[in-house]
Amino acid sequence: MEMIKSAARMHMVARKCRAEGRTIALIPTAGRLHEGHLSLIRRAHELAEIIVVAIAPSLLEGEKPEGERRGERRARYLSDDVEVLSPLGVHYVFAPSREELFAEGACTEVVVRGLSERLYGATHPEHFVRLTTYLMILLNLIHPHFLVFGWKDAQQVAIVRRMVRDLHVDVELVTCPIVRDADGLAVAPENERLTERERQSARVLPQALEKAQVLVAAGERNTANILKAMREMIEAHPTIRIEYLSIVDGETLEPIPLLEDRPALVVVAAFVGKVRLSDNVLLNA
């Protein structure tokens, strides 16, 4: 496994692999790898001969420039991630700095209008602009045959799918199911910050999603009724503050009043104490 921090080196390696007729799967991550990411790697091995795991620079999340402490923390996380990846048959880890990818004075962005401003984007309008711009840079550097994502961030999947379609990007988008812990919580680094009591309360999030599935299976089609039942379940826990709870079209992310035959997405994000968690489930898939 080779760690690559140079964009030029990554481009050269990927071009050589393609010239040799070898298929490439790219797994973009934000680092701090967990079982959810490992499931993506296992899926990538089923698809391609060369596996590239990209670890985004911290400024992708809109953080302030890296000071010494933040830089040390990123280096520690990166070291941990490399240790996790070493035995998994990953061929390349691409972990560039922000400066390596974004030239000083760069003024080009990739914006997926509409989808990027909904849900999480409603309060973080620049997040998905940074994400899609970063992903387009990765796609241009690596030219993978497969782009592998987890369904944990369903909004991200919808936005990337639209970007790939609108810009005729020559890549196949592959999505993998959410990996859950034994208590139903979607696996995420944030779970580690929950106290035992908060973790017990947080279990209501996947339980509320399951409630939505049960109601739909029983014939409920009015999304207001489904959301009301979910909200009552969640708000019974005083330590939880809902950021958003919605049922949206699986492709456009627009809220829908009635369930039809098209896939619909139930999405929830909430603060459990000070920890933000998100989850989702697909209906009519």
Q: How many domains does the chain have?
A: 2
* Residues acting as catalytic residues: 37
In whole angstroms, give the CA distance from residue 263 to residue 116: 19
Same domain for 62 and 150: yes
Find the domain containing 274 and state its range. 189-283
Choose one of 112, 143, 176: the last residue of a domain: 176
10 Å CB burial of residue 104 (0-12, 13-18, 19+) is exposed
Same domain for 229 and 122: no
In whole angstroms, give the CA distance from residue 7 to residue 9: 5
What pLDDT band is residue 68 in, cutting at 50, 70 and 90?
A: very low
CA 162 to mean position of chain CA atoms: 15
pLDDT at 25 over 70: yes
Average pLDDT rounded to a whole number, residues 229-241? 97
In whole angstroms, give the CA distance from residue 121 to residue 267: 13
Choose one of 176, 198, 225: the last residue of a domain: 176
Same domain for 279 and 167: no
Choose one of 133, 149, 176: the last residue of a domain: 176
Same domain for 120 and 198: no
Q: Are 31 and 78 within 8 A, CB to CB?
A: yes
pLDDT of residue 285: 55
Residue 182 covered by a domain: no
| DSSP summary character for residue 27 | E
Same domain for 121 and 24: yes
Residue 256 covered by a domain: yes
Residue 94's DSSP bridge partners are 4, 54
Token pair of 167 as six digits: 């810009």
Same domain for 263 and 122: no
Same domain for 169 and 28: yes
Same domain for 200 and 90: no
Same domain for 248 and 167: no
For residue range 137-194, what is the model confidence (pLDDT) as tens digits? 999 999 999 999 999 999 999 999 999 999 999 999 999 999 999 999 999 999 999 9
Element (H, E) at 173: strand 172-176
Residue 154 covered by a domain: yes
pLDDT at 69 over 70: no
Same domain for 214 and 171: no
In whole angstroms, give the CA distance from residue 270 to residue 241: 5
pLDDT > 70: what percent of the chain?
94
Whole-prediction pTM: 0.93
Residue 184 covered by a domain: no
Q: Which amino acid is at 180?
A: R
Same domain for 171 and 199: no
pLDDT of residue 103: 85
Residue 170 covered by a domain: yes
Average pLDDT rounded to a whole number, residues 10-14? 98
Same domain for 102 and 138: yes
CATH of the domain at 59: 3.40.50.620
CATH of the domain at 245: 3.30.1300.10
